[in-house]
Amino acid sequence: MTTPLQSPDVAALEEAYRAFARGDVAAVLGMLDPQVAWTEAAGSAYAGTHVGPEAVVANVFARLGQDWESFVPVPSEFVAAGATVVVLGTFEGVHRATGRAMTSRFAHVYRLTDGRVTAFESINDTHEVRRVMA
């Protein structure tokens, strides 16, 4: 439930993180604009800008599922500024091939229009993630 100071976009993104954590990818995809520009950090195994929900699934979500036994973004703070929401948190995961666990800080920048994500950028410690994958 949103408080008077919480934007509807923040409430929707909070629910999207909960949906991702429980494996409900369809709920996450439902928040994406058909032309969403989803950018993963340079240096990431999933780096690049992927346009459209299908590209996000193929180039990010499906690969995360293949590569990681578990991979969960755990948000700690949501900061709204107009149509932009920045989410700070950590990735927690166990890499499937190496069996190594990791925790890596992130900042996610969302741009929303009419409650749908039109752009996303992940800024994170790709060195830590790659270290666990090696």
pLDDT at 99 over 90: yes
What pLDDT, in 10s, does the model give residues 33-51? 999 999 999 999 999 999 9
Residue 2 within any structural domain of the chain = no
Instruction: Tell me how many degrees the CA angle 45-78-113 measures, rounded to the nearest 5.
Output: 80
Task: Tell me which residue of 50, 68, 42 sits closest to 124, measured CA to CA.
Answer: 42
User: What whole-number percentage of the chain has pLDDT above 90?
Assistant: 87
CATH number, domain containing residue 111:
3.10.450.50
The closest of 45, 72, 57 to 134, measured between CA atoms, is 45
Q: How many separate domains does the chain show?
A: 1
Looking at every residue in the chain, the average pLDDT score rounds to 93
pTM exceeds cut of 0.95? no
Residue in 102, 123, 130, 132 with CA at minimum distance from that of residue 40: 123
Residue 56 reports pLDDT greater than 80: yes
Query: Once rounded to an integer, what is the mean pLDDT over residues 109-126?
Result: 95
The yes-or-no verdict on residue 9 having pLDDT over 90 is yes
Residue 117 lies in a domain: yes
Domain range for 31 is 8-133
Q: Return the pLDDT at 6.
A: 74
Give the contacts of 7 (CB within 8 A, at least 6 positions apart).
80, 85
Would 1 be classed as within a structural domain? no
